Amino acid sequence: MGAFLAGAFAFFWLAAVWFIQQSVLAENNEELRRNNFCSEKQTQATTATEVNVRQETFFKNAEST
């Protein structure tokens, strides 16, 4: 009887750990998606800034000539 209870406890313990890990992995995946979205927005902003700087430089050079 003791071995049965130990085995049952171990099974339930493993099942509980598995469910907890699944929820943690889901949270981590969502965080990675948010980080990816923010990185894309940051890349777009950096690109827009670069284009703006190039345009300003072009117009300053055009005014100088």
Mark residue 9 as left, alpha or beta (left: phi above 0; alpha: psi -120 to 50; beta: remaining).
Answer: alpha
Q: Alpha-carbon distance 52 to 39, whole Å? A: 20
Q: Is the whole model's pTM more than 0.85, yes or no?
A: no
From first CA to last CA, the distance across the chain in angstroms is 96
Domain boundaries, the chain: 23-65
In the predicted structure, residue 55 carries a pLDDT above the cut 90: yes
pLDDT digits (tens, 9 = 90+) for 3-31: 999 999 999 999 999 999 999 999 999 99
